[in-house]
Amino acid sequence: MPRVDPEPNWRQQGFYYYPLSLYFREMFGSSVRKISVDAGFSCPNVDGTIGHGGCIFCDNRSFSPSRRMNIPTISMQIREGIARMRARFKTSAYIAYFQPSTNTYAPVEQLERLYREALAEQGVVGLAIGTRPDALGDEVLDLIADLAKETWICLEIGVQTACDASLDFLNRGHTFAAFTDAVARAQKRGIRLGAHFILGIPGETRNDIIRTALLTAPLGLHSIKLHNLYVVARTQLAELYAAKQISLIGRDEYIRSAVDFLELFPPNVVVERLAGDAPREFLIAPLWSCEKGKVKQSVEEEFRRRGSYQGAKFGSKEF
């Protein structure tokens, strides 16, 4: 049976937010690394079920290293990933991260076979499953809930923003209400949930970012990932950027927005990512997103400057 999630004690250890690395050490008793795997799924926003073309920022090769691998099976991808990880890190425990495309978008029999193939690999202690809110039918959620009785699982849902106008701009093909509906149905089954957010969507103000945090912070999420909007080659967003039809959030404004966002989230929510990045061969802008270490340091400095921390304004009547 999976272990119960630990009570966070990150503030006593000098952190300004609850980092994923600390959560994994508390949960599993050792360092744990994620290995990206590609199950070859499509996306309902690409194949015509919902739309064509996908999200305007999306090129899966840039978002997941596994998209650039030519490895035919999940097992082989995991073994190759473990070999790479062992060469860099002292770890023997791994989460198989079903990352590219929509990883609940298939018949449940196929999903179960692929998920179990990953879990059968030596050293794999759980699954992270990336998906969309509109690809979570009840049968899929029942499958994930059953697997979660056996092992650690986090279902990661891309919501990006609570602003439907921004979701339309991004060509997401779903509304914010679709996200809250998926969250409610998943939580009835006791499924651990993560959510992905984009800060700095063109046209959004600080108030829009705050509103997204206020609407999602009380939902009982297990973890969140924050991303800046960045431009990679061969996307619709790249065309808009080249035509100077959009501007991107600056580094300093992004740092302030990230801290604003985290102040509003409860302290037991794990922070998996503070900013997004892409391989340099795909990235067009902003180049500062490649400096993940500096972004992390700047977020911590902003917390320190404010005398603040994750959750400092959770439930505040200020807004």
Name the nearest CA neighbour of 23 among 34, 42, 9, 44. Answer: 9
pTM for this predicted structure: 0.93
CA 292 to chain centroid, in Å, comes to 16
Predicted confidence at residue 67, as pLDDT, reads 46
Task: Give the Cα separation of 111 and 153 in Å (integer).
Answer: 14
Q: How large a percentage of the chain has pLDDT more than 90?
A: 81
Task: Give the Cα separation of 301 and 256 in Å (integer).
Answer: 10
Beta bridge partners of 196: 158, 225
Work out the pLDDT band at 82, boundaries 50, 70, 90.
very high
What backbone phi and psi angles, to 5 degrees, belong to 122? -60, 130
Over range 235-251, report the average pLDDT.
Answer: 95
Work out the pLDDT band at 64, boundaries 50, 70, 90.
very low
- pLDDT by residue (tens digit) across 254-266? 999 999 999 999 9
Predicted confidence at residue 87, as pLDDT, reads 85
| The dihedral formed by the CA atoms of 88, 89, 93 and 96, expressed in degrees to the nearest 10 | -40
Q: Give, in degrees to the nearest 5, the angle at Cα 278 between 216 and 96.
A: 65
Q: What is the CATH number of domain 11-229+249-278+291-306?
A: 3.20.20.70
Q: Which secondary structure element, helix H or strand E, spans residue 42, and what is its range? A: none
Beta bridge partners of 194: 156, 223
Q: Tell me which DSSP letter residue 274 carries.
A: S
Task: Give the Cα separation of 72 and 20 in Å (integer).
Answer: 30
Q: How crowded is the C-beta side of 286, counted as CA atoms within 13 Å?
A: 20
Q: Token digits for 83?
A: 């070999």
Residue 118 has pLDDT above 70, yes or no: yes
**Least confident among 60-74, 85-99, 284-298:** 60-74
Predicted confidence at residue 89, as pLDDT, reads 86
Strand locations in the chain (E)? 32-37, 93-98, 124-131, 152-160, 193-199, 223-228, 231-232, 270-273, 283-285
Work out the pLDDT band at 68, boundaries 50, 70, 90.
very low
Q: Token digits for 140?
A: 């899929």
Q: Token digits for 222?
A: 């297990």
Task: Give the Cα separation of 211 and 253 in Å (integer).
Answer: 17
SS3 68: helix
Residue 207 has pLDDT above 70, yes or no: yes
Predicted confidence at residue 71, as pLDDT, reads 56
Residue 247 has pLDDT above 50, yes or no: yes
Q: Token digits for 212?
A: 């997204």
What backbone phi and psi angles, to 5 degrees, belong to 139? -65, -40
Report CA Rg, the chain.
Answer: 19
Please list the helix, strand and coil fractions of the chain in percent, rounded to the nearest 5, in that order. 40, 15, 40
b or e along 40-65 (b: 16 or more beta carbons within 10 Å of the residue's beta carbon)? ebebbbbeeebbeebbbbbbbbbbbb
Domain ranges for the chain, please list them. Answer: 11-229+249-278+291-306
Q: Over the chain, what is the mean pLDDT?
A: 93
Work out the pLDDT band at 2, boundaries 50, 70, 90.
confident
